[in-house]
Amino acid sequence: MICRSYFTRSSNALASPCKSRNQFRLFFAKNPANHAHFQESYLALSIIYARSENHCIGDQGLLPWNLPDEFASFNNITDGKAIIMGRRSYEDHNCVLPNRLNIVVSRQVDYLLPAPMILSADLITALQIAADYSSEYFIIGGVKLILEGLSQASRVVETIVHAEVKGDTFLPPMDFSHYTSEIIEHHQVDEHHASAFTVWQHTRA
């Protein structure tokens, strides 16, 4: 799965996959000690990704565009924060994004990561780790984690690259009807950017 092509090995993993609000509630009914911590964690969870007009987010492990200022936007928004990614997203880039706590979600409990990256067996554990690092933290990819975390996210930062591109990784259309949406940045085509892009911020109402 894809997170960022410009990503310029260990911890023990814990467990419990949940893919919907009901599954999250069931998990915490069985694990009440984690509930208060997670209520705060979910309020601070954000998701960030870039997609094309045809919802492509990657091709062969890379972004199918080269937009330096789009990277700068991502970099500025996530700087100093915890970031959460799937194992395949990490393997696409195989390095650490600096000045952030990098958390990789994988069910392979013996998966090796370079220090100071952290391994988590599931999203809930990753959120708990992230909450101890920064007041806001981001899921950055891939598709499975983005979709799993969407029902819990209080904010989604979505960059739309104004182009139809070929690729092998796509996000389905997102329903932001329960969010307040606003444009926080727009960039026109110029000598360094072959496509225009718009950064949307969707905040849960």
Domain ranges of the chain: 21-204
- The pTM (predicted TM-score) of the whole model is 0.81
Angle at 186 between CA 184 and CA 190, to 5 degrees: 155
Measured between its terminal Cα atoms, the distance across the chain in Å is 29
Q: pLDDT of 3-57, one tens digit each?
A: 443 332 233 333 333 444 444 444 444 555 554 444 455 569 999 999 999 999 9
CA distance 44 to 129: 12
Q: pLDDT of 192-204, one tens digit each?
A: 999 999 999 999 9
CB burial string 85-107: b at 16+ within 10 A, e below: bbbbbbebbeebbeebbbbbbbe
Domain 21-204 = CATH 2.40.50.140: no
Average pLDDT, the chain: 85
pLDDT score recorded for residue 31: 53
Give the dihedral sign, CA 141/143/144/150.
positive
The residues with which 158 forms a beta bridge, in sequence order, are: 49, 200
Q: pLDDT of 98-124, one tens digit each?
A: 999 999 999 998 999 998 999 999 999
